[in-house]
Amino acid sequence: MTISSSNRPVALVTGARRGIGLAIAEALAAAGYDIALTGTQHDAEAEAAVAKVTALGARALFSAFDLADLPAHAAALDEIERELGPIDLLVNNAGIGAPVRGDLLDLEPQNFDIVIGVNLRGTLFLTQAVTKRMLARQAVLPRAVVTVSSVSAALASPERTDYCISKAGLAMFVQNLALRLAKTDIGVFEVRPGVIRTDMTAGVAGKYDRLIEGGLVPAGRWGEGSDVARAVVALASGAFAFSSGAVIEVDGGLAIPRL
């Protein structure tokens, strides 16, 4: 996709204050997008994220709202469109881990509801709202919805069942959305990161260092936010339009079945 200064597309990246989301926002800014970043709070970290994106030549806006708060979606989208223009690319990156890791038989309903409310329910209905707005106008540039899920959509971890279920649900949502939008110009993709070095994995870094050393990841290293970001930029370009519904593993071979 060739982008000039006069026709920069707009990307909405959820959960972009830090980690994978910020890496995606920076990569898209470098590729020529203006960026709407979201997170639950507009703080110094959010301002720093906006500064990193604008330093790459993009216009940027930080919109603070809770993804689980469905009534907040419309106001956030109105603000983004007012300040940056219509959204051409939605990157569903925001998500939370299991509030408590432990025995599946001790999983608390309230913790399950929190994870589903953000990772699945919030993402689904934000995507619904954005795609309706996309379909209400004529396409000018390539458009796409890229959902960042996890290898946990297919690989079970009984100590965080709530998280795994939320990601498996997202995977099925992506497939249904791809079918619904197949005759439109909107590409729909799922990106499944593996073991990625982020704040979310910092607390278990020692565990994964040992597992990676023991061969868990065939590539022999941690994934980085930039690995995920490069995949998102490629999928957003329009080059894979006929591959709508594709699932891209960004995991160094982790999810490949082995003997």
Is residue 88 within 8 Å of residue 9, measured between CB atoms? yes
Alpha-carbon distance values, 185 to 88, 105, 143, 239, 240 (Å): 11, 45, 7, 12, 11
Tokens representing residue 148 in the block? 């960042």
Instruction: Indicate the pLDDT class of residue 200, thresholds 50, 70 and 90.
Output: confident
Is the pLDDT reported for residue 91 higher than 60? yes
Question: What pLDDT sits at residue 259?
Answer: 87
pLDDT digits (tens, 9 = 90+) for 46-86: 999 999 999 999 999 999 999 999 999 999 999 999 999 99
pLDDT of residue 206: 92
**Stretch 190-212: mean pLDDT:** 91
Contacts of 138 (CB under 8 A, 6+ apart): none
pLDDT in tens, 25-46: 999 999 999 999 999 999 999 9
With 0.85 as the threshold, say if the pTM is over it.
Answer: yes
The SS3 of residue 157 is coil
List residues with catalytic annotation.
Answer: 163
- pLDDT band of 258, cuts 50, 70, 90: very high
